[in-house]
Amino acid sequence: MSKVAIRPESFDTQLRKRRRWQRMLLRDENLAWDIRRVGVDLPSSVFTGLTGGATLMIVGILAFILANILWNGWSGLSWRFVVAGTTEDMFDVNKAGVFPMIFGTAARVILMTLFVIPVGVITAVYLTEYASPTSPVTRIIRGAVNNLAGVPSIVFGLFGLGFFISFVGGHLDRLFLPGTAEPVWGKPALVWASMTLAVMTLPVVIVATEESLRAILPGLREASLALGATKLQTVVKVVLPQALPGILTGGILAVSRAAGEVAPILFTGAAYYMAHLPQSLTDQFMDLGYHVYVLSTQSPNIELTRPILYATVVVLLGLTFALNVAAIVIRSRVRQRLRAMH
């Protein structure tokens, strides 16, 4: 038998085979990496789609509500409706006006803001700057704040009726006006409704202020104390100016919550009808939210009143938006001043 001679491969042939095997291995590694990457990104893609879908659903619901309100309320809106009051029939679309309600709503929201921000800021400063985190008193205060945030709004209305009107107002009448036949302080009034709303929105301001105070760098406090400033001077001149945008954010959240509330003012100051605007803090007032409740429950002809009802809701939304925009503009200017100082 003849033997077949096997010729040894040349160096170039071996090099080509080696490069071909390297390309095959690299391609297989890339394919495996692509598969692993797809396996890792698939749950993330699903989660991203779910969160994006939930966000779009919320935006869609909000857009549908606003579109429905504008569609049904546009026919009842007019310049006379906004700037005039009601003298004869509040259920007649041709005679009704909401200016007294706009005035009362704006007045109680502004007074509520003036009451709640100082108390909320002082409480947050004490809890953040002075109180010990493990102190029983601190735990009691934080527990009270957390529980206050979960109380239904109607309970605040009953609290305002019992505490502010009966207790505080009654004692003020007995101390300073003992001979008057009609109560001056011991009756539903603008001031008591505003204070009731301030108690209701107090947790919002406290939490927002605390978060703003915690975000301030500790080095600012330490540098102020190292330069010889007292604790009070550090808080007033260093900490609070830096936290002011966050405090105003708490005020914006409080305004947003209180603007449309009806239950807390139902017993403490809102009036069914008034022929004039409130002249003092002890007068009752008309309110947009309460007026919506009256139109939807007391109207003799709900179909005839529907344009007024929706138009009043549009005005309430516009007023809430305007108050929020004013607060946001103030916060923006404060931030610009702080940046200019640095």
Q: What confidence tier does 12 reach under pLDDT thresholds 50, 70, 90? A: low
Helix (H) or strand (E) holding 19: helix 11-73
Q: Report the share of the chain in percent with pLDDT over 70.
A: 86
Please report the sign of the dihedral spanned by the C-alpha atoms of residue 82, residue 87, residue 91, residue 92.
Answer: negative
Residue bearing the bigger pLDDT, 232 or 7: 232
Neighbouring CB atoms inside 10 A of 251's CB total 26
Three-class SS state of 270: strand
Q: What is the pLDDT of residue 193?
A: 95
Which residues make Cβ contacts (< 8 Å) with residue 221, sequence separation at least 6? 234, 238, 239
Residue bearing the bigger pLDDT, 85 or 261: 261
Q: What is the DSSP letter of 74?
A: G
Q: What is the pLDDT of residue 1?
A: 47
The neighbouring-strand residues paired with 270 are 285
Closest CA to 186 of 174, 169, 199, 200: 169
120 in Cβ contact with 307 (< 8 Å) = no
Whether residue 111 is predicted with pLDDT greater than 80 in this model: the reply is yes
Q: What is the pLDDT of residue 134?
A: 84
Residue type, 132: S
State how far the Cα of 31 lies from the Cα of 35, in Å rounded to an integer: 6
Q: Is 214 left (phi over 0), alpha (psi -120 to 50) or beta?
A: alpha
Instruction: Work out the average pLDDT over 209-231.
Output: 88
Neighbouring CB atoms inside 10 A of 81's CB total 22
Instruction: Work out the average pLDDT over 271-283.
Output: 87
Whether residue 333 is predicted with pLDDT greater than 80 in this model: the reply is yes
Helix (H) or strand (E) holding 100: helix 99-125
Q: What is the pLDDT of residue 19?
A: 67
State how far the Cα of 73 lies from the Cα of 67, in Å rounded to an integer: 10
Question: Which of 20-29, 33-42, 58-67 has the highest mean predicted lDDT (pLDDT)?
Answer: 58-67
Average pLDDT, the chain: 84
Q: Report the share of the chain in percent with pLDDT over 90.
A: 27
Instruction: Work out the average pLDDT over 268-294.
Output: 89
Q: What is the pLDDT of residues 145-175, one digit of tens each?
A: 888 888 899 999 999 999 999 999 999 988 8
State how far the Cα of 187 lies from the Cα of 165, in Å rounded to an integer: 6
Q: Considering just the CA atoms, what is the radius of gyration of the chain in Å?
A: 33
Instruction: Work out the average pLDDT over 292-303.
Output: 84
Label residue 209 exposed, middle or buried (CB < 10 Å: 0-12, 13-18, 19+).
Answer: buried
Neighbouring CB atoms inside 10 A of 101's CB total 27
Whether residue 37 is predicted with pLDDT greater than 60 in this model: the reply is no
How is 180-209 classified by DSSP, letter by letter?
-SS-SSSS--HHHHHHHHHHHHHHHHHHHH
Q: What is the pLDDT of residue 4?
A: 45
- CA angle at residue 174 from 169 to 177, to 5 degrees? 95
292 in Cβ contact with 313 (< 8 Å) = yes
Burial pattern 305-324, b for ≥16 Cβ within 10 A else e, equals: bbbbbbbbbbbbbebbeebb
Q: What is the pLDDT of residues 123-151, one digit of tens each?
A: 999 999 888 888 888 888 888 888 888 88
Whether residue 196 is predicted with pLDDT greater than 60 in this model: the reply is yes
Whether residue 39 is predicted with pLDDT greater than 70 in this model: the reply is no
State how far the Cα of 124 lies from the Cα of 117, in Å rounded to an integer: 10
Q: What is the pLDDT of residue 6?
A: 47
Going from the N-terminus, what domains does the chain have, and what CATH number goes with each? 71-341 (1.10.3720.10)
Whether residue 215 is predicted with pLDDT greater than 50 in this model: the reply is yes
335 in Cβ contact with 245 (< 8 Å) = yes
Q: What is the pLDDT of residue 73?
A: 84
